Amino acid sequence: MDRDLDALTQFQWGLVKWLQLLEFMSEKQARRDIDDGRLIRILKGVYRMAGVCEVRRHLPMAAFLAIDEGAAGGCCAGWLRGMPSVPGRKTELVVPYAKTPHLPNVIIRRSTYLPPHHIEHLDALAVTTAARSICDMSARLSTATIARILRGAVRLDFTTYDKVGRARDDMRARGRRRMTVIDEVLEGRVPGGTPGDSEGEYKLLDWISKAGLPIPKQQVWVPTAGGRYCLDLAYPEEKIDLEWDSDLHEKTPDDVEYDAARDIELELAGWLVMRQSKLTRRHDFVRRLETALQRRARDL
């Protein structure tokens, strides 16, 4: 195979367009490769190279190559990125409103607003940013589901609450009306533009302030051997992480596994993880935190 063609197909996950083929070979040779099974049709004008294992992500790439415009979006962009709690594995493309393409097994969403800063790339495939994808998903998914997706996306550093808020404001300014779900999820989390806050975290800050204890820092990024984690409330010098579990009944198995792995990685890195919930009593929290701060201060 021509090296340039090989490089192109690798960048496109083993797929190639008919017009691209003709840049490297004659039409006769291309048709012979199709007849001989060296090229396998995925969609009209898009082929998979023989020897490349068929995987689910091929259809979004094939659809994008066939249309040559727009971007994978919504839930499709979510699962392509590996964002947790995103339901389904359907192929979904967001295209400019003037376009009306039809492809088998592909959901087409027409949009009047798809600016360049709402698009990123996974190799050759254009995908909407994590923030834009979550905003688009909010038009079709429940508040609880969007809350889980957003929490996981922020934890894994796909996006931030602030970026989602800006994407929402962008879309609303261009006429998008159905933003109530994302409003509900962000309410109390980005007041004044500060990402990561929640009702429970405000409660902890209130308890800490009234007890006269040092105020923790917010949005602290901590590198560990197992990954990089964002701590909503933490004392970096003392290595104390304060967590609020306000929705234990809504946690998915993925959430539980993530939290367990995160806590272990932080503890191995020398951090004390203190988890609170709706059942935590104020005086118990203050007593434990005061003791932890005193002991950690002695160890510094």
- In this structure, what token pair is assigned to residue 201? 């975290």
Q: Name the pTM for this structure.
A: 0.67
In a 3-state reduction of DSSP, which class is residue 228?
Answer: strand
132-149 confidence digits (pLDDT tens): 999 999 988 888 888 889
| Rounded-to-integer distance, Cα 296 and Cα 288, Å | 12
Q: Where in the chain is the domain with CATH 3.40.960?
A: 199-299
DSSP 153: H
213-272 confidence digits (pLDDT tens): 999 998 788 999 988 888 889 999 999 999 988 665 556 666 777 788 889 999 999 999
pLDDT of the residue at 247: 60
Res. 192 pLDDT band, cuts 50 70 90: very low
Burial 86-106 (b: 16+ CB within 10 A, else e): beeeebbbbbeeeeeeebeeb
Is residue 195 scored above 60 in pLDDT? no
48-67 confidence digits (pLDDT tens): 999 998 888 999 999 999 99
Q: Yes or no: say if 194 and 200 are a contact pair by the CB < 8 Å rule.
A: no
CATH number of 199-299, picked from 3.40.960, 3.40.50, 3.20.20, 3.90.580: 3.40.960
Exposure on the CB side of residue 245, measured as CA atoms within 13 A: 15
Is residue 104 scored above 70 in pLDDT? yes
Cα dihedral 126/129/130/133 (nearest 10): -80
pLDDT of the residue at 95: 95
pLDDT of the residue at 155: 79
Query: How long, in residues, is the chain?
Result: 300
18-28 confidence digits (pLDDT tens): 999 999 999 99
Q: Yes or no: say if 185 and 146 are a contact pair by the CB < 8 Å rule.
A: yes
pLDDT of the residue at 1: 58
| Rounded-to-integer distance, Cα 48 and Cα 33, Å | 11
Is residue 173 scored above 60 in pLDDT? yes
Give the residue among 155, 146, 134, 185 at the shortest CA–CA distance from 260: 155
| Rounded-to-integer distance, Cα 103 and Cα 114, Å | 20
Of residues 248 and 286, the one with the higher pLDDT is: 286
pLDDT of the residue at 142: 84
Mean of per-residue pLDDT scores for the chain: 88
| Rounded-to-integer distance, Cα 66 and Cα 69, Å | 9
pLDDT of the residue at 196: 41
- In this structure, what token pair is assigned to residue 209? 């302030």
Alpha-carbon separation of residue 149 from 80, 117, 131, 179, 256 (angstroms): 14, 21, 11, 16, 14
| Rounded-to-integer distance, Cα 219 and Cα 245, Å | 16
